[in-house]
Structure formats: structure tokens, C-alpha cells
Structure 1
Amino acid sequence: MSGWIAVAGLGPGSATLITPEVSAALARASDLVGYAPYVARVDPREDLVRHSSDNRVELDRAALALDLAARGRRVAIVSSGDPGVFAMAAALFEALEAGPASWRTLDIQILPGITAMLAASARAGAPLGHDFCAINLSDNLKPWSVIERRLRLAAAADFAMAFYNPRSRSRPDGFARTLAILRESCGPERPILFARAVTTPEEQLHVTTLGTARADMADMRTMVIVGSSQTRIIERPIGPILYTPRSIPA
């Protein structure tokens, strides 16, 4: 029996945003591997073996998937959003590179999904309508000095910025420092979007400015998008539209 691995993106939350390609791979899988809340998003099936694990054991999770596939199992590794954006695709290839040579012959596919920054941007309008960058604010896998340098360079380049993992219980201060750097670099009037639990029943959107933004407006379920100098707000009775024009004046 020939094993395979599909690293599948489950999208931002709503089952309607899971791609047909991912649904087909999940239907064919014999084993499901992933962070427990993501595994729980997949409907149970009698012949599907579920391997749930904690959030900070990505390399162990990847090695398990590779070992299962090497033994002929059909393995789906699940991530929220897109597996190639701060998620399991890179972890799998780290484990592959460090593992036995036999793993390199395995059939591995990366199945894209709708990542949180795109879902949040669509809900708010089009704040990522021009050049933008994405930064993971967690310092679990990189030092804060790297994050700060990238924040300052992105602000100097006038990118719109999408921030993943802005604030958690174990990292309560980093996002406050991020806001302080951005106020210093971009000014207090720059628009900022807090998009929490996008596409789920708990969805909350809040558009404000850097000058009034607070660190406690974000948690690990929040996508934060800061506009560029060109980003605009269209006020409407049913809620504002946030967008960045497709062109920049000469």
C-alpha cells in the first residue's frame, strides 16, 4: 500500500470556505494529524484515526505524519487558514529535511486554504488592495529584536501590514510594544482593523486608528491589519469600508 501526506488548509473558520480539493483529501485520508482544535473541525468517520496534539509540538507532529505515511497510511495534516502561512507545511519540510532519506520519496501535497488575513481583509473591504506584508508577532520561534526590526522596516516602506498571533496569555506585552512602534513610525491617524474569529458565529470587526487602538483589543483569535498611508475609510450607516487604492500618486 502506497502512503501519502496532504497538508490541508481548513480556512479561517466557516466550513463553507474549505476548498473542494481539501474536502476530497480528508475523505480519502486514513489518518488525521494536527493541533487538537483543528482536528476537531473535521467531521468524525469510523475509519479515520485522529492524532491530536498540543500547539507547540509541530516538528513531532510532522515526524509522526511522515512515519505514518512511510508505513503506507494516507495522512491529512490539518492547519487553519493556509498551511503554508505560519503553519504546518514549513514544519513538515523541516522534519523531512532532518529525517531519514526514505521519507524524501513520499508523495507529499500542500493543499492551500483561505488564510486569515485574506478573510479579514474581505470582511472589512480591501485593506490589502496594494502592496502589503504579513508578520507573525509571536516571539516563540524568533527573537523580539527581529520582529521590531521588521516592523520598523515595513512601516518605513509604507506597506499595509497584516499581523498574525498578536497577543496571548504568555505574551501579553508584545502587541502593546508593536502599537507603540507603529504610532511612532506611522502616526496616530493610521487605520487599523481588529478582525476576531472571522467567518465564525463569534466574528467581531472593529475599525479604528492607531491613536485609539489598545493592546487588549486583540487576542490569538484576532487578525490585525494596519493600513498604509494610502488606506482609506468609507463611512456608512451599516459599518465602514476599509480599503487601499490600487495605485499610488506619482
Structure 2
Amino acid sequence: MNKTGKIYVVGIGPGSKEHMTFEAKTAIEKSDIIVGYKTYIDLIKDMLEDKEVASSGMKKEIERCTEALEYAKQGKTVSLVSSGDSGVYGMAGIMFEVAFKDESHVEVEVIPGVTAANAAAASLGAPIMHDYVTISLSDLLTDWSLIEKRLHCAGKGDFVVCLYNPKSKGRQQQIQIAREILLKYKNEDTVVGIVRNAKRAGESIVITTLGDMLKYEIDMFTTVIVGNSNTYSVKEKMITPRGYEL
């Protein structure tokens, strides 16, 4: 009987080694096989020269998890990689569900990583210093009516709002609707940060307002952070005060 392997579900952060945790690097180094979405594999390809790699395209999440589990059953140590943090819109939840459904005894360990919200916030300054929410505008797995409900709740609660997956070739209207909903609760001059390719090559940063945000490029590589009623910008930085008296 073969020795049971192990699966690391690794959050690689934005993709560069500089923003990857030591634990993530160690997990990848210890792994026999790296499994992941091709775009994310390409971000770390210089770390994988001596590794077996199994990459696949979009909408193959379940297949990747099943493949990782089969390798682990053969006694292999596997890193299943996600960008950002694997537990935030990543592969961790799916991997656990697949393993539990299989009634497998393979150990699954989640390795945390820097999220898109954290990376974008750092590039902008300090926009998430107070209570904030993350909302994905992708309705591939979540009904749009529920996403709209959550946007209303976030706006009503005066949260800083981090928008993931704001716009794609097939989803052009969602970011417009999200802005319209937030404008019911936030002023047009609310500060908004738009970061494309956060902490990666080709990073671009825009600080604008809720009224003007749609004038700038927004796509699937972009994270949009909408401030609360106290958020302000100064010297090309976006700051949400926590309430300290200076």
C-alpha cells in the first residue's frame, strides 16, 4: 500500500516572490507536483523548473482539485495554487469539499497568502484601516440578485467596499450597476482607488471618485476599493482613518 500524500492549498499572493510568504515558498519546494490555473502557474514558473506541473484553464476548478487528490492518493505531495489567498475566492473551499465527498484520508493544509484587497490597499496607502467588505461582482457562481443585496447592505452600513472581479469581456454592466447602488448611500465625491495588476509587473494606480470611476480602465486584473464617508486622499494616497486623535 502506498504512503498517503498531502495537499497544500497555497495562496501565492499577487504572484511575485517578494510578496509570497515563506510558508508558501516552502510548501512549493516540498511538493512533487504543482497543480493550478495556467495564468497563476505562469506567475511562479521560475520556481517550478524541477517540478511536475499540471495546469489547466478557466472553469476547471473541480477538475484541478480532483487531479490534486488523485496525485496525493498515489503518495505525492501536491501544491494546489491560487492567486491571493486560497481561502478568499480561491481553491481551499473546493478542495475540502472534493476531499470530504471522496471520504479521503489525504491531509489538506491551507497556506495563506496576500489577498488582492491587501495588495491593492497597500499600493493605494491605507484605505481599509476600518471595517470593510469584499464583494465579487462575478455572477458565475452567485445569483446577481444576491450580489445586489450585498452591495445595498455594504452601502447602507458605510463600509469600505473592495470589489473583486469587477468587469470582464462578458460582464460589462455589473460594475456600472454596482456604482449606481453604492451611489444611493455614498456621495459622488467618495474616494475610490482603482488598482490594476496590484504588486505585479505593469501595476497601475488611480485615485478618483465614485462619480468619475467609470472613466478609467477596469477589468478582471483590477481591484476597486470604494471608501467610506470618512475616507480621504492626500499626496496621492488613500486613507481611511480609524479614529485616532492627532
TM-score strictly above 0.5: yes
**Distance (Å, rounded) in 2 between the aligned partners of 1:215 and 1:71:** 52
Quote the offset at 1:25 in angstroms: 1.0
Quote the offset at 1:185 in angstroms: 2.3
1:139 aligns with 2:139: yes
**Paired-residue identity, %:** 37
Compared CA separation, residues 125 and 143, structure 1 to 2 (3 A): same
Compared CA separation, residues 165 and 72, structure 1 to 2 (3 A): same
Quote the offset at 1:201 in angstroms: 2.3
Letter in 2 for 1:140: L
**Distance (Å, rounded) in 1 between the aligned partners of 2:151 and 2:86:** 23
- Decide whether the 8 Å contact of 1:195 with 1:222 is kept in 2: yes
Structure 2, unaligned runs of 5 or more: none
Residue equivalent to 2:149 = 149
**Distance (Å, rounded) in 1 between the aligned partners of 2:131 and 2:19:** 25
Quote the offset at 1:45 in angstroms: 4.5
Post-superposition Cα deviations, 1:219-240, rounded to whole Å, max 9, x if no partner, equal: 0000100001111111x2xxx1
**Distance (Å, rounded) in 1 between the aligned partners of 2:216 and 2:120:** 18
TM-score normalised to structure 2 length? 0.94
Residue equivalent to 1:228 = 228
* Aligned residues between the structures: 242
Post-superposition Cα deviations, 1:40-71, rounded to whole Å, max 9, x if no partner, equal: 22326464211111121111111111111111
Post-superposition Cα deviations, 1:151-179, rounded to whole Å, max 9, x if no partner, equal: 00010011001111000011111111111
Question: Per the alignment, in what secondary structure is the counterpart of residue 113 of structure 1?
Answer: coil
**Distance (Å, rounded) in 2 between the aligned partners of 1:216 and 1:190:** 16
Q: 90-99 vs 131-140, which deviates more?
A: 90-99
1:243 to 223, 239, 244: 239
- Decide whether the 8 Å contact of 2:15 with 2:40 is kept in 1: no
Residue equivalent to 1:8 = 10
Compared CA separation, residues 98 and 2, structure 1 to 2 (3 A): closer
Post-superposition Cα deviations, 1:14-37, rounded to whole Å, max 9, x if no partner, equal: 221111111111111111101001
Residue equivalent to 2:197 = 197
**Distance (Å, rounded) in 2 between the aligned partners of 1:5 and 1:230:** 43
- Decide whether the 8 Å contact of 2:194 with 2:224 is kept in 1: yes
**Distance (Å, rounded) in 1 between the aligned partners of 2:239 and 2:49:** 46
- Decide whether the 8 Å contact of 1:33 with 1:65 is kept in 2: yes
**Distance (Å, rounded) in 1 between the aligned partners of 2:100 and 2:171:** 30
Structure 1, unaligned runs of 5 or more: none
Residue equivalent to 1:37 = 39
